[in-house]
Amino acid sequence: MGCECSKFALYYWTGQSGPIYEAQNPDEEKDEVSDLPAFREFTFEQLRIATSAFAVENIVSEHGEKAPNVVYKGKLENQRPVAIKRFNRSAWPDTRQFLEEARAVGQLRNNRLVNLLGCCCEGDERLLVADFIPNETLAKHLFHWDTQPMKWAMRLRVALYIAQALEYCTSVGRALYHVTGKGLALYHDLNAYRILFDEDGDPRLSCFALMKNSRGGKSYSTNLASPEYLRTGIITQESVIFSFGTLLLDLLSGKHIPPSHALDLIKDRNLQMLTDSCLEGQFSTDDGTELVRIASSCLQYEPERPDFKSLVAALYPLQKEAEVPSHVLMGISRDGETMSLSPLGEACLKTDLTAIHEILDTLGYKDDEGAATELSFQMWTDQMLETLNSKNKGDAAFKNKDFRAAIECYTKFIDVGTMVSPTVYAHRSLSYLMSDMPQEALNDAVQAQHKS
């Protein structure tokens, strides 16, 4: 099985891009992966060293030590960062079955997947080794975001890339079946926790769920969404497509909607109830309706659902801001990346006071005409008088090059928030620069430009 798999996987990986791109988007970047090592078997000792003896602080799985199968971050002897999944001891009692499945999945190589690099099977230990993906799961970014909700364009990109990943797996599995009578295992438990974002901010589908779930030697699945699985207990390709439909609704709503409830909302054509309020104004009604239509076709009760090739074709026309890199849409900074700055930002970065002065003067940053007049109408309160005094003291300190005092006075003025003064932001920006606080200076320079 391993040799046949390698031959047919190689056919899909080399020369031309995979069938997804050939059929749909010939100009798209090729999807073969050339810098990954071949699949290998590791010793338990190698993986113990890679994870610092499976240290608790290296656990990266969502539920920590309480998860039935724990994922650790590790580093191989060549310093390559990896994710290592350690199965519960009751899982995979059949050594041969585990190795066969791991080797088969390890033949897959695609930029839409978190690729499997190796495995370990010693005694009762069963472990999988994959590339480490640094930027959290879709569940984190979609349901538990800290700074900003995921943009509409990025949600559509996730839908497309995951459909492409599943189409790739399906294509290779179909080719293998024609030759060997056996295809690759179906994707188990497709959900927002199975999708991770790489260093470029691109979404990738975890390879771990291409392995059958096993508990006490018996295969099982926690994917209980599809009606036919509830009836038969068997995962089929149609079941995976049903799960993909629920994923589309997660992307649309920003929360996990139970499939039965989602179907009711779709039948009522209640797009507003389904849509994440954070997406207001980011997409047209036609695009939203089309995504709901695609999701609805995946969620049909009877297993007459579209295949992934047709889903990829349907999702392409919905892609927005295709020229914008994923890490920009996601707000993810990349190590060593050179930021594209405005002329003002470049001048701040270089601490070029002459250039900063010329830019500010060109933009019209002079004393805020009318500021004193506007404040004079409010000077019947001690607070407003104190605010004006803070600005005047700041101006005096700035002229005397007492930049620390200027920062303190201008901050008091800004924090009151009674009026907006681009000049104060510009003066405080220069004061920060002269006080060796470049990030604060850049933030104020942006505020000054924005509020002018």
189 is catalytic: yes
Phi, psi (degrees; rounded to nearest 5) at 302? -80, 145
What would you report as the CA-atom Rg of the chain, rounded to the nearest whole angstrom? 28
Long-range contacts (CB closer than 8 Å, 24 or more residues apart) made by 350-358: 351/433, 351/438, 353/430, 353/433, 356/429, 356/430, 356/433, 356/445
According to DSSP, the residues that pair with 73 across neighbouring strands are 83
Nearest to 253 by CA among 227, 279, 235, 232: 279
Nearest to 448 by CA among 361, 339, 335: 361
C-alpha distances in Å from residue 154, one per residue of 138, 169, 324: 11, 23, 10
- The two structure tokens encoding residue 7: 């031959």
Measured in Å, how far apart are the chain's first and last C-alpha atoms?
68
Q: Name the E strands within 91-191.
A: 113-114, 116-122, 125-131
The single-letter code of the amino acid at 327 is H
Cα–chain-centroid distance for residue 227? 30
Q: Residue 219 gets which letter from DSSP? A: E
The single-letter code of the amino acid at 452 is S
Catalytic residue among 31, 131, 189, 198: 189
Q: Residue 209 gets which letter from DSSP? A: G
Q: Give the whole-angstrom CA distance, residue 320 versus residue 314.
A: 14
Q: 3-state DSSP call for residue 268?
A: coil
Nearest to 108 by CA among 48, 234, 229, 18: 18
Contact 398, 404 (CB under 8 A): no
Q: Which residues are catalytic?
A: 189
